[in-house]
Amino acid sequence: MQLKKLFSNIEHELIQGDLNIEISDIIYDSRKAIKDSVFVCLNGSSFDGHKFASAAIANGAVALVISEGIDVINNNITVIKVKDTRLALAYMSAEFFGNPASKLKTIAITGTKGKTTVTCMIRTVLQKAGVKTGIIGTLGVIIGDKEIKTVNTTPESYEVQKFLKQMLDEGCQCAVMEASSLGLKWHRTDGFIFDYGVFTNFSHDHIGKNEHESMQEYLDCKSILFRKCKTGIINIDDRNYRGVLKEHTCKVETYGFSEDADIRAENEKLISQHGYIGIHFETAGKIELSVNVDIPGKFSVYNALAAISVCRHFDISEKSIIDGLNEVKVKGRIESVPIPGNFTLLIDYAHNALSMENILTTLREYRPNRLITLFGAGGDRPKVRRYEMGEVSGRLSDLSVVTADNSRNENVMDIISDIEVGLRKTRGKFIVIPDRKEAIKYCISIAKDNDIIVLAGKGHEDYQEINGVKHHFDEREIVADILKEIGEVK
């Protein structure tokens, strides 16, 4: 593709060289530069791409995109200056891949919690109705039966455009993605306008040196989506919804329990059966449905309302919406694992005190015989998180089983000792079993009728990181192996 075409929608200044040259690819990692590529110098929280321009040229780049002064040692290199290289990368990538979003229905979900679940709900409903839909998010990229792992919830803009093109090539009609606050802040979702943007909720998270400097800045970044979508679908029950809509340019629709919501939930009630812990509710307003969701908790109603609010805009039947929500499974999000016996085993990603409190409080509402929580804590993370997790589990669980998580570069027993500090502030019973597989086996072996066992912390992850090395560890496989071992012993 001609370099000039990549800049058709970007303000730019040609510093030197020729814009009419042919470009083989767009690169933002100098190590991946190839012959005739253009290298975009991105600035990150801990690096400056401008410092790697020479390395990119050495590897074959014939053009540079910069946002600040740079010493160019090769006069044959084309150099283009832009105001923001991240923004430029988004528009360049969209053009390079043929603007695939213009040929898809695109949906973005933002919010502190619920993004992964809502994307999966929307995809399940639309696929049920015959609308092939791809996902980009925490679970990776999902296109048909293919799953591609990604590093970030919202990948860099080049990858976003590449995956949208791949979805289009493989027959997708719709793409739904998680738009993280950092993804929005760093222009990863730029280069096109979403058809629908969804706001789930807002709470304290992602404040720190390499993330957001304040809660206000975090909220401001969430609000970006509603200047980059045609229709904004908002949880009106969240007190921050007005802040999210600051300077919005989209049409606005709302959902929630509020009488003012365009689509509101009514008559919710818990459903508890062997292997099915969920919730029932009905909707009123712009669509009237009677819905069961096989995921527990009031937050599941909110997530389902978000999905309904999007899916009703598609030419699909109400039955597809009802059936899809009743069948949806979200990997690692209060995920029910099939087991023999009259108890329930769940896998969840809860890995801090807030998320643990949310899930354990929710499960308490189902009045289990016992609530057993297996968990650890991540190494190389603030110790206070461990104390808080211990205290929450000790307060809300009938039994806490303390074990390994991703210990990373720390000794797992040191981490467990910190968790015990929090546990000992409560009257909760606990047992320490450092080996996570043995801990899971113990939970299954002691299970009684109507117990709920939660394996917390790993969720969708399929590895354990120990001493800086990732080892394969998928809790679904672990449970299956344990059940086989128990069966052979019997």
Could you report the per-residue pLDDT of 394-416, keeping only the tens digit for each? 999 999 999 999 999 999 999 99
Buried b (16+ CB within 10 A) or exposed e, 268-301: eeeebeeeebbbebebebeeebebbbbbbbebbb
CATH superfamily membership of 335-489 = Mur ligase, C-terminal domain (3.90.190.20)
* Contacts of residue 445, Cβ cutoff 8 Å, sequence gap at least 6: 486
- Tell me the two tokens of residue 20: 């009419």
Q: Which CATH class is domain 100-327?
A: alpha beta
Asked if residue 458 lies in contact with residue 332, where contact means CB atoms within 8 angstroms, the answer is: yes
- For the segment 171-220, what is each residue's pLDDT rounded down to a tens digit? 999 999 999 998 999 999 999 999 999 999 987 555 555 665 688 888 99
Which pLDDT value is given to residue 272? 87
User: pLDDT confidence of 308, banded at 50, 70, 90?
Assistant: very high
- Domain ranges in the chain? 3-96, 100-327, 335-489
Query: Mean per-residue pLDDT for 306-331?
Result: 96
Q: Is the pLDDT of residue 291 over 80?
A: yes
pLDDT at 160: 98
Give the residue from 290, 269, 205 showing the smallest Cα distance to 240: 205
To 10 degrees, what angle do helices 412-423 and 383-396 make? Answer: 50
Q: What is the mean pLDDT of the chain?
A: 94
Question: Which of 209, 223, 304, 298 lies closest to 263, judged by CA?
Answer: 304
pLDDT at 198: 98
pLDDT at 245: 97
pTM for the model stands at 0.90
For the chain, count helices (H), then strands (E). Answer: 15, 24
pLDDT at 9: 92
Over residues 135-142, mean pLDDT: 96
Q: What distance in Å separates the CA atoms of residue 271 and residue 426, rounded to the nearest whole number?
A: 30
280 pLDDT higher than 80? yes
Per the CB < 8 A criterion, the answer to whether 187 and 87 are in contact is yes
Q: What CATH topology corresponds to 3-96?
A: 3.40.1390
256/487 Cα distance (integer angstroms):
46
pLDDT digits (tens, 9 = 90+) for 37-71: 999 999 876 788 999 999 999 999 999 999 988 87
- Per-residue pLDDT at 212: 58
- Digit-coded pLDDT (tens) for 349-378: 998 998 999 999 999 999 999 999 999 999
Stretch 162-176: mean pLDDT: 98
Tell me what the mean pLDDT of segment 98-104 comes to: 98
pLDDT at 490 over 70: no
